[in-house]
Structures are given as structure tokens and as C-alpha cells.
A and B are shown apart, each in its own frame.
Chain A
Amino acid sequence: MEGSVLVIGAGIAGIQTSLDLTELGFKVYLVERTPSIGGRMAQLDKTFPTNDCSLCILAPKMVEVFRNPNIELMTYHEVKKISGEVGNFAVTVLKKPRYLDETKCKGCGDCATKCPKIEVPNVFDMSLGKRKSIYIPFPQAVPPVYLIDPEICLKLTKGVCGVCEKVCTVEAIDFEQKPQDIEINVGAIVVATGFDMPAEQLSSRWGYRYQNVVSALEYERILCASGPFEGHVLRPSDQKEPQKIAFIQCAGSRDLHENVPYCSSVCCMYTAKEAIITKEHSDNSDCYVFRHDIRAYGKNFYEFTQRAQDEYGVKYFQSKISSIEEDKDNNDLLIHYEDLKTGKFSDFKANLVVLATPLVPTKGTEEMAGILDVELDKYNFYKERSYFNKSLSSKEGIFLCGFCQGPMDIPETVTDASGVASQVAMILNSVKFNEIREKEGIEPEREIKITDEPRIGVLICHCGINIGKYVDVSSAVEYVKTLPYVVHVEDNMYSCSSDSQIRIKELIKEHNLNRLIVASCTPRTHESLFQETCVEVGLNKYLFEMVNIRDQCSWVHMNEYEFATDKAKDLIRMAVAKARLLKPLTEALLDITPNALIIGGGISGLTAALNLASQGFQVYIVEKENKLGGNLNDLNILYPIHEDSSKFLNEIKNKVEKSKNIQVFLSSKFKEIKGYIGNYNVSIIDSKENTQDVKVGTIIVATGALELKPEGLFQYNEKNKNVITQLELEKKLKSDDKSWLDGIDRITVILCVNARQKKGITYCSNVCCGVSLKNISIIKELKPELEIVVLYRDFQMAKKEFEEYYRDRRKESMFLRYDLDGQPEIVKINEKPEKYQVSVFETNLQDQLQFETDLVVLSTPMVPPENLQELAKMLKVPLDKNRFFLEAHVKLRPLDFATEGIFLCGCAQWPKNIQDSISQANGAAGRASRFLSAKTIKTSGLIAEVSQERCIGCGKCESVCPYNAIELIDSLLDFEEVSLNVSKSFINSALCKGCGTCAATCQNGAISVKHYDFDQIYAMIESYLLE
């Protein structure tokens, strides 16, 4: 069995899977067919619903992948052949020629500057920008290496030119490169091939052929500050700012004629985001959204679409588009549409049209499925083995992650990624860490005392000509030699190259250096490289300091040689002043107890428990009720595959009971939870007041959610037996006694009861539409002659399975649409048997309707259980405004809390269906098992420290610390005969992240931040200004 994994596709899905896999103890071969990792997420401008800059949150992960010694990055490679089975797959990967040696290329870009101006559309900019024949896909590409396009390169096509070869100072260019087959063996395979957005395949009525009709992904590039228009909202035809921008939803999705019957799931949200960003960029642009249903599938997503309207003035039309035509004179667009609220046909003139075109499986999916020998579904997404576990492909050992399995957003993708990683760990558990490589050849750390005189070595980099051409490096060398404590200075061409690392090690030994400074590019990408070099030769990594004289000097002062040289000298002098005061720091190793606590025994908690248990960890489940299963106990049949809930639950409960590694505490809660990552002491108390203490390393919160009881709404009260909630209907359907259906001829289902409002519950609960539709179909099976009327606002049926499910249900019942301004009214008109009159204003018909009904079913949102505050306080984790638990980052860390060591999943985070709950549970188990597998955790040296003498125990630092790392601890202070009880601040080094907010808050200067301490920063300031 192989302890390595092949990951195909290096978008956010593949990146996150790879990172998690290496932490779980597996070597990863990450194969990407394009020249850079990053995928679609790298192309996005911002991400909903936080409007975080997409690349800013992605780039750190890309760099992490690049530096990870256990990820073999194979960009510009393609998988050609796969044989074997789970545990032992043999894979042939084709390495495509870049026509340069990527181990030599420094990414300086001199070649592209000199490359003749024969340009082709840049695919990364969705063909809106141009690139040359030698190019890097985008400035932040990983690996930061160029490649030659053989189609247009003059040397490769006609045998002339070759100028890049002449200007490349590291001699990286190699026109002789040929494609090459590479054989690898892996234990498991993860498919993460993502999606395409082929707008050109739409039928002509969407008008994509016109210049000013762009796809949403093209519009992302237009909005992006590093895109073709530098973030100015301009339209392609004349690069003028458009005044009226029309966003067309469902431009092809949910459309049988376009061959895309499913909902692409993310368009409603990114459209709202794009409209908001447009309004932020440009005061003159008005945004109009032509929508169908609003499907905001995710946490606080619906509110985001409302904010676009209420706060940014984006106008939404519920409409149907018939066609889009161009005005030949000015390239404006004429949109012919039907307004579904008025039933009128109208025309709308826009300067720019953005199409929310369908997201489809990426090109080449069918071939790849053939190579993998796995099944695709009818939409050509990879088919999951079971609806309830979408990570498993049809073949054992091959896993699915992200959009290649079906439409999903980024949080769900990274959730999947962590879940896939944990499920790989389940099957390859016996070979964990077999192929993990620790760095070799590290010398023991040399002891540096504070009293030792600083011996500073400085290396100044030319970076080819990137620094050398704009800064007088040799004069800087001479100058730096005169600075105090500097014992050696030299310059070099590329400080980052591997031969320079050898030179650095020599220098440190030769001159007995105890501080090292490299003046070159940015520490954000290169600091850790130099730090590693220092460590290899026994120098503590915190005795290294980096000076940025390229990105923040030579590149921004290209026409000011003298000024730039002065600035470079100043910056190096400041670093020398700081380096003198640098101290060696230690990174503490904390032991991790390989046990996990799971709070909540519903489907999420049970799934997470089984996952961790099969990875060999001890798991404790604490459930407050007297049985496991949570909401599943009350459910009847599960949608959309109509499986019996009891059967499904019993299978899982059996597995839990059989597992030797799981201990269940029923009717229990917590007396106390104390400790920090790796070491929690948990005191569990049951209903008989018996307590039991357990020690765990990590905690997963899976506390679930409940159905809201709509007291007082729509005649819902004690007396009215025939006004019930959806869950009450489930229970009726689950019971063997179906006599309640006798005498019922018409059922009215009301959706969005007490949900998606302006006040009160503002969110969409995501699952109620699906549950209602399922119950309709079950009732219809029981009593086909029964009439069912559904009152709805929008149908929240995102995801590939649901659109068709919904379409089928439309045949079985009558659907009436209402909106928030015209809530339905229910009046009781007969007591025995109960009969109600329903009045509603149907917006599609624009008519007031009235009819009688025998049973009213109310669909209400899910709400968090009461008293979560108490638990949240005990765990020191936050709740959001709706009282669900608040994750660390809604986009990229949906399963983590900001507090390390604690994770969340299922409805504790947000209302979700069973598939999503299971996926999150596996994901949370994956996140948690990263720590449990590691056995120890290394803390950073960059942390804050309290001087006990200076601390007055005021607690200000405790209140500002975002990580709850600071605690006031009472201690006895003895003064001769008296003992005083005083509070002192104490910083837990395991939790501190070193931001330094506490230090700046402390009025007594009692807190120092290592590596960014007061004296170090003062020294830099003085050094700058005193010269």
C-alpha cells in the first residue's frame, strides 16, 4: 500500500486537499494541466459574502503548497494513464515542455520584456488582456516560472529570434525540451478538476457574440485591480464607463434548451457581489439584475442579496429574458424581457450586459473519467457513489472534491477538501507518514547569548537587473560595510537560488555570523526560505532579517537611481539596527492528547465520530438527549433519494456501537471545559449528577438546530390540530397510522413562514423547500387524488439533484407565488372537521386568490437551540448574530474556529441538509485529525510576553485579544507579613498569534512582542531619522 496520493487539479479544491493530506501524513502529487496553481478562484476579484479580495486569501495557500516538502507540484502536467486499485495505483503523467528549466528560472521577467510584440489573448484574463509568447499566467502564479507558447514563439515556429535565450542571465531557456512521461505510484486519487464557463456555447438569443455582453467570469477580470482594465469598470467595445449594467441570471442554467437543466448554485450570489463591487468602484454605474428565483444557498447569503438592494441600490427584476440584441450605432444592448411581476413585455437598454452563464464540468472531463474508469452523471459531473457521501466516486480509492462533482461554492469546496483528506486517511491509515519526508541535514542549533557581540552578515541581491539596474548595489555594499556590528557584506545575482543558499551557509560559518540580513525581494514570499537556510546551519531562524529593496524600492523608483539607492541604504541600515537587538526565539512543542470530544450526537456528530474512530483516535460523544440521532429520529423519508430515515440512522448507530474507539455519554452536559489545543480537560455530568472527566486534544461542535415553532402565525396554536409544521407532518407521515389523511382533500403548504423577512428572522434556511417538495410527493403516493397547493416565494433548489426533483413535483401540485408585501392569510371557517380559508395575492397572475383547505402545513426556518451561549462561553468561541456558531472565516475556514483546536460542523454552523451535514462532519474530522495525527504541535516564536513586575492586572489586554490567549490569573503576592491577592495577565503561548494588539493596548508597557518589540522598532525609527 502506498502512502501517497495523486490530486488532479490545483484549484482551491486541490490545494486545500493537498495541504490537509500532507498534515494527515501523506505525500501528495499535485497535477495541474495549466502552468500555475490557483484555478478559478485566482481569477476572481472578490468573494461573497465578505467581499474579501480573492487572491489575497488564496495566495498564502498557494505559497504554502509551493513550499511544502511533501507536495510534489506538477504544473503543466497531465494525467495520461491509470491502472491498479485502491492502495496501489500506477499513474503515468505527461510533463509538457515549458521550453525553459523551471529549476533555473527566477521569474524575473526579463525575457518577456524583450520578447517581440506578437501577442495572443491571455486566457487568465478571460482573453480580455494580451500576453506574449514567453509569459507567466499572472503575476502571483505558483510556481513563479515562465513558459513559452510554442504556437507563436518565433524560435519554435520559424527558427528565428531566440532573444529570450540571450537576455536570460541564468540560462534557463531550453528550446530543445520535449514532452516527458513520468511514472508514479499512489494509494489513492482525488479528482478536483473544477468547472468551465463556456459562454460561447449558449444559443444566440443571449447575445454573447456582441462585444459588450460578457460572461460573469470575464466581468470578474474587468473588476479586478490586477485585471486588464486595472479594476476600472469599463466596457470592452470603447473602454468607457458603462452607466447601465444589466446582470442576467440563469443565462442558460435551469434551461432544458441549453442542455443545462440544473441550477449552477452560485450565480445569484456572485451577481449580487459583482453588482455591489461595481457600485463601490463607480458612482456613475447603475446595476440592474434580471432574476428568476433568488437562490442564496449558504450562511447569511440571502441577506447579502438584500443588502445589494437596500444598501447599494441594485435593482432586481423578476423576469424572463427573450433575447438580447445590439444597437449597431453605439454597441449598447437591447434586452427584451417579460416582467413576471406585471406580466408585461418590455425592452431595457443597457451599456453592458453580464451573463450568469452555466457552470459546467471542465473540458476534458469525459476523457479523464475514461482514464480513471469512473462514472459520470447525466450532466457529466463525476457521479458520487451515494447521495449521502458525495466525496466517493464510483470506484474505491478515487475521491471527488469540489465543482467536478456538482455546483458548489468555495466554502463547500474547502469543506469537501478536508472531508476527502480525512476519508483518504481512513483507507490508508496503516501507511500514514510512510512517505512523509522531514528535512534532512540540519545542524544542531548554535547557542547565541544576549551578551554575545552581534556579528551581522549582509547579503545584497541584484535580482538579475531587477534591483541592480535601479539601485547602485556596489555603493550600498560599501556603505553597509561601515555600519556597526556588520562583519561581512557581499552582493550576488540571485540570493534565492540554490547555490546562494550554499553560499549563505558558508558565510555564516566562515565569519561566525550570529545575525543574517538579506536585502532582496519581499519577506512574504522568501523569508521562510532564508530562515530555513539559517536553521540548516544551526542559526536560530529568528536571527534572520529581510530587507525589501525590490518590490518596495527598485521597482517603484525606476527612474530615480540616486533616490532609490539612498532608500535602499536607509532600509538596510534600519534592518541592521534591528538585527543587533534580535533574540533567538524558541518554538515550543506541545503534546497532543490523541482523543476527540464531539458535542452533539446527531448525524453530523456521529459521522465525525466514525471518521475519527476509524483513523484510530479515541472519541467521546456527549449528547444532551437520551438517544443518538438528533433530528433524524423525527424524519420519515430523506430527499431527494427517498431513503427511509430510520434505516439510514440505524446503520450509522450500529457502526457507532460496534466501534471500540467511541464512547457515548447520553443525557449529559458539561460541568467544565478547560485547557487549550492538544490538552483539554473536560468534565461531563449526566442527569443523575454523575461526573466523569476525560482528556481530549480537540473538540468538534455539532450541536445542530431545531425547527422554529411559528406560534401565533397562520392560525398555528394549541387548538388548531390541522395547522401543523413541516416536522409535525413528517412525524405524521412516519407513523403507521395514516387515518389522519381521511377526510382531507386539499392541503396547503406555506413556505418561508417567518423567514427571509426585513425584521426578525432575515435568513433563508436553505432546506425547507426541499423538505416540502419531498413531503408533497410522499402524500401524493399515499393519496393520489389529494390536491396540494404550495405558496412559495422563491424555490431554493440549488445543487445538481434538486432542479429536476422540483420540476417533477410541479406536475403533482399547484404552485402559487407570493411576495413579502402580500403574505397569505388563513381564516378558520369550520371547527369540525377543521376547514380553513386561504387568501393570497398571486404575483405571477397579479390576482387575489381565495380557496378552502383542510390542512395547512407551515415551513419554518431552522433555529439554533436555546442556551448555546453557555457552551460558547465555556469553549471561548463566538456565536453569530443569528446565534449559530461563528466560524473562523466564512470562505476558507468554514469548519474552524478562530480558537485553534476547536471545530464545528452541521447545523451548529448553519441550517443544512443531510448531505451537507455529512460532508461538513467529514471535513471537521479531517481538520481535527490534522492535529491528532501530528501528536505534537509547534507554536510560533512570534508571540507576546507579559512582564509580571510591570503588569497591574487591569485586564485591557485580555479584552482586546482576539484569540482568547490572555487570561488574568490571581496569585498571592507576599509583602513581609501580609499576603495580597493580585491579578496578573498571563499569555498562553499555544494560543497567541503574535499580532501585538495587547502590547499596544497595555498602558504600562508590560507586554513585549517577540521579534517586533518596542526597542527593536524604536531602533529602526531612530536609525532612519538620525542619519
Chain B
Amino acid sequence: MPEAKNKAVKQDFEPDILVFCCNWCSYAGADLAGVSRFQYPPNMRIVRVMCSGRVDPSFVLKALKEGADGVLITGCHIGDCHYISGNEYAKERFEKLHRIIIKQLGINEKRVRLEWVSASEGRRFADLITEFTNEIRGLGPLKFY
């Protein structure tokens, strides 16, 4: 049995986190975390898309509106994209999303993050989820004023 390193203890506030994974790299990285039995907090739910380039800003905004406390978009490292350049457009769009929308809405920009995880980075995936979950926990529930 793997060490219960990241064992969750019921806290006052448990965030809801949505994670977008691309089919080829980060989803595979998440699978590898599983195969390797790397434990991480159970707060997040993954939505699989074919490419991080598919993640429309409206998905993120919708999730925040419906009550997600944090959204994580993940994809292949730059240069590794299965679709050659989809992740570069994801990055471009994400920066715009951050710059314009998140700030205008007064949402802490730490709540929406873009990260690259390769298919071999199971450890990194688990660590990333742990770290992101803890960060969102620290920020508390997302409230619109």
C-alpha cells in the first residue's frame, strides 16, 4: 500500500476543482500517476478533451460561474503537442483569458492555471494536483461580489 502522504482530512472548506486534460499527454500523465499509485487529494474532476487547444475560455468561465473554486488546464509540453501546435494556441488564449477576463471579474488569477504535464510525468501530475488543491483551499471559496 502506498504511503498516505497526501491523505485528505475533511476540512471546513473542500474546494471543487475542474481539470481539463488533453488526451495525449496530461491525461496519460494522470493515468501514470494512477498506475504508480501516487496519491493526491480527491477534490478534482477531470474533463478529457482531445487537445488543450480545445479548451474554450467559455468552459473556464462557465465552471467558475457554476461554482468551481479553481480550474486547471493541462496539456502537452510546448513542442510535444500531438496536434503540432494546439497547446501554443491554448497558451495564447489562456494569457488573454487571464489578462482580460479574470482580472476584470476580480477573480484571483491563481484560481485558473495552465500547466504542461507529459505522459511520463505521473509524479508531477500528482504533485501538481496536491499543490493546486492546497492553494485553492488557502484561497477559500470563490465568491462573486
Give the residue name and chain of the B residue nearest to A1017 (CB).
Answer: B59
Q: Identify which of B1, B54, B121 contacts A225 (C-beta below 8 A).
A: B121
User: Which residues of B have CB within 8 Å of A552?
Assistant: 30-31, 33-34, 46
User: Which residues of A have CB within 8 Å of B25?
Assistant: 56
Q: Identify which of A53, A564, A999 contacts B42 (C-beta below 8 A).
A: A564
Cα-based distance from A226 to B39 in the complex (angstroms): 16
Give the residue name and chain of the B residue nearest to A1018 (CB).
Answer: B62
B122 and A226 contacting across the interface, CB-CB below 8 Å: yes
Q: Identify which of A56, A231, A548, A1018 contacts B119 (C-beta below 8 A).
A: A56
- Distance in Å: Cβ of A609 to nearest Cβ of chain B: 30
Give the residue name and chain of the A residue nearest to B118 (CB).
Answer: A53
A1025 and B89 contacting across the interface, CB-CB below 8 Å: no
Interface locus among A567-575, A709-717, A775-783:
A567-575
Q: Identify which of B4, B16, B23, B80 contacts A524 (C-beta below 8 A).
A: B23
User: Which residues of B have CB within 8 Å of A995?
Assistant: 50-51, 53-54, 82-83, 86
Task: Mark interface residues in B55-79 (1 if CB within 8 Å of A CB, else 0).
Answer: 1111100110011100000000001
With A139-B36, A564-B42 already in contact, the answer to whether A996 and B8 are too (CB < 8 A) is: no
A962 and B31 contacting across the interface, CB-CB below 8 Å: no
**Any chain B CB within 8 A of the CB of A1026?**
yes
Q: Identify which of B28, B40, B48, B59 contacts A1021 (C-beta below 8 A).
A: B59
**Any chain A CB within 8 A of the CB of B49?**
yes
**Any chain B CB within 8 A of the CB of A181?**
no
**Any chain B CB within 8 A of the CB of A757?**
no
Interface size class of B (residues with CB under 8 A): 35 or more
Cα-based distance from A59 to B35 in the complex (angstroms): 14
Q: Identify which of B1, B35, B121 contacts A139 (C-beta below 8 A).
A: B35
A524 and B27 contacting across the interface, CB-CB below 8 Å: yes
- Distance in Å: Cβ of B113 to nearest Cβ of chain A: 17
User: Which residues of B have CB within 8 Å of A45?
Assistant: 120
Q: Identify which of B54, B79, B90, B126 contacts A556 (C-beta below 8 A).
A: B126
With A53-B120, A560-B42 already in contact, the answer to whether A1020 and B27 are too (CB < 8 A) is: no
Cα-based distance from A140 to B49 in the complex (angstroms): 23
A555 and B37 contacting across the interface, CB-CB below 8 Å: yes
B42 and A1021 contacting across the interface, CB-CB below 8 Å: no
A556 and B38 contacting across the interface, CB-CB below 8 Å: yes
Cα-based distance from A557 to B90 in the complex (angstroms): 30
Give the residue name and chain of the B residue nearest to A109 (CB).
Answer: B35
B89 and A225 contacting across the interface, CB-CB below 8 Å: no
B42 and A996 contacting across the interface, CB-CB below 8 Å: no
Cα-based distance from A1022 to B80 in the complex (angstroms): 31
B50 and A226 contacting across the interface, CB-CB below 8 Å: no
**Any chain A CB within 8 A of the CB of B98?**
no
* Residue of B23, B45, B53 with most partner-chain A CB within 10 A: B45
**Any chain B CB within 8 A of the CB of A960?**
yes
**Any chain A CB within 8 A of the CB of B112?**
no
B120 and A224 contacting across the interface, CB-CB below 8 Å: yes
**Any chain B CB within 8 A of the CB of A563?**
yes
A898 and B42 contacting across the interface, CB-CB below 8 Å: no
Q: Identify which of B53, B79, B118 contacts A56 (C-beta below 8 A).
A: B118
A-B contact count (CB 8 A): 173
- Distance in Å: Cβ of A134 to nearest Cβ of chain B: 18
Interface size class of A (residues with CB under 8 A): 35 or more
**Any chain A CB within 8 A of the CB of B137?**
no
User: Which residues of A have CB within 8 Å of B42?
Assistant: 553, 556-557, 560, 563-564, 566-567
B40 and A1012 contacting across the interface, CB-CB below 8 Å: no
Q: Identify which of B57, B59, B83, B122 contacts A997 (C-beta below 8 A).
A: B83
Give the residue name and chain of the A residue nearest to B54 (CB).
Answer: A996
Q: Identify which of A555, A1020, A1025 contacts B35 (C-beta below 8 A).
A: A555
Give the residue name and chain of the B residue nearest to A1001 (CB).
Answer: B89
A556 and B50 contacting across the interface, CB-CB below 8 Å: no
B48 and A560 contacting across the interface, CB-CB below 8 Å: no
Cα-based distance from A433 to B67 in the complex (angstroms): 56
B126 and A942 contacting across the interface, CB-CB below 8 Å: no
Cα-based distance from A908 to B12 in the complex (angstroms): 64
With A995-B53, A997-B86 already in contact, the answer to whether A1017 and B121 are too (CB < 8 A) is: no
Task: Mark interface residues in A866-895 (1 if CB within 8 Å of B CB, else 0).
Answer: 000000000000000000000000000000
B120 and A56 contacting across the interface, CB-CB below 8 Å: yes
**Any chain A CB within 8 A of the CB of B84?**
yes
Cα-based distance from A883 to B46 in the complex (angstroms): 42
B59 and A225 contacting across the interface, CB-CB below 8 Å: no
A993 and B2 contacting across the interface, CB-CB below 8 Å: no
**Any chain A CB within 8 A of the CB of B47?**
yes
**Any chain B CB within 8 A of the CB of A459?**
no
A558 and B84 contacting across the interface, CB-CB below 8 Å: no
Task: Mark interface residues in A205-230 (1 if CB within 8 Å of B CB, else 0).
Answer: 00000000000000000001110001
B38 and A1021 contacting across the interface, CB-CB below 8 Å: no
Q: Identify which of B32, B53, B67 contacts A996 (C-beta below 8 A).
A: B53
8 Å CB contacts to B: which residues of A707-755? Answer: none
B63 and A1021 contacting across the interface, CB-CB below 8 Å: yes
- Distance in Å: Cβ of B110 to nearest Cβ of chain A: 19
**Any chain B CB within 8 A of the CB of A826?**
no
User: Which residues of A have CB within 8 Å of B126?
Assistant: 556
- Distance in Å: Cβ of A309 to nearest Cβ of chain B: 20
Cα-based distance from A750 to B121 in the complex (angstroms): 47
User: Which residues of A have CB within 8 Å of B55?
Assistant: 1000
- Distance in Å: Cβ of A33 to nearest Cβ of chain B: 25
* Residue of B42, B47, B63, B79 with most partner-chain A CB within 10 A: B42
Cα-based distance from A962 to B88 in the complex (angstroms): 11
8 Å CB contacts to B: which residues of A825-857? Answer: none
- Distance in Å: Cβ of A414 to nearest Cβ of chain B: 18
B30 and A551 contacting across the interface, CB-CB below 8 Å: yes
Give the residue name and chain of the B residue nearest to A232 (CB).
Answer: B123
Cα-based distance from A56 to B22 in the complex (angstroms): 14
- Distance in Å: Cβ of B118 to nearest Cβ of chain A: 5
B8 and A560 contacting across the interface, CB-CB below 8 Å: yes
User: Which residues of B have CB within 8 Å of A553?
Assistant: 34, 42
Task: Mark interface residues in A568-594 (1 if CB within 8 Å of B CB, else 0).
Answer: 001100100000000000000000000
- Distance in Å: Cβ of A610 to nearest Cβ of chain B: 33
B31 and A551 contacting across the interface, CB-CB below 8 Å: yes
B67 and A1025 contacting across the interface, CB-CB below 8 Å: yes
User: Which residues of B have CB within 8 Å of A1009?
Assistant: 50, 54
8 Å CB contacts to B: which residues of A933-948? Answer: 942
User: Which residues of A have CB within 8 Å of B47?
Assistant: 574, 1017, 1020-1021
**Any chain B CB within 8 A of the CB of A235?**
no
- Distance in Å: Cβ of A303 to nearest Cβ of chain B: 15
- Distance in Å: Cβ of B32 to nearest Cβ of chain A: 7
B123 and A225 contacting across the interface, CB-CB below 8 Å: yes
Cα-based distance from A678 to B38 in the complex (angstroms): 46
- Distance in Å: Cβ of A748 to nearest Cβ of chain B: 43
Give the residue name and chain of the B residue nearest to A59 (CB).
Answer: B119
Cα-based distance from A306 to B55 in the complex (angstroms): 37
Give the residue name and chain of the A residue nearest to B22 (CB).
Answer: A995
A556 and B53 contacting across the interface, CB-CB below 8 Å: no
**Any chain B CB within 8 A of the CB of A55?**
yes
User: Which residues of B have CB within 8 Å of A1021?
Assistant: 18, 47, 59, 62-63, 66, 68
Cα-based distance from A55 to B25 in the complex (angstroms): 11
B119 and A55 contacting across the interface, CB-CB below 8 Å: yes
A558 and B93 contacting across the interface, CB-CB below 8 Å: no
Cα-based distance from A226 to B51 in the complex (angstroms): 24
- 19 A-B pairs whose Cβ atoms sit less than 8 Å apart in the complex: A56-B118, A56-B120, A139-B35, A522-B27, A522-B31, A551-B35, A552-B31, A559-B4, A559-B7, A571-B46, A960-B89, A994-B50, A995-B51, A997-B90, A999-B54, A1000-B53, A1009-B54, A1022-B62, A1026-B66
Given A139-B35, A563-B42, A1000-B89, 8 more contacts at CB 8 Å?
A: A50-B80, A55-B120, A558-B37, A558-B39, A574-B45, A995-B51, A996-B54, A1025-B16
Q: Which 3 A-B pairs have the closest CB atoms?
A: A996-B54, A551-B34, A997-B53
A residues near B (Cβ < 8 Å) are: 45, 50, 52-53, 55-56, 59, 139-140, 224-226, 230-231, 522-524, 548, 550-553, 555-560, 563-564, 566-567, 570-571, 574, 898, 942, 960, 962-963, 993-997, 999-1001, 1009, 1012, 1014, 1017-1018, 1020-1022, 1024-1026
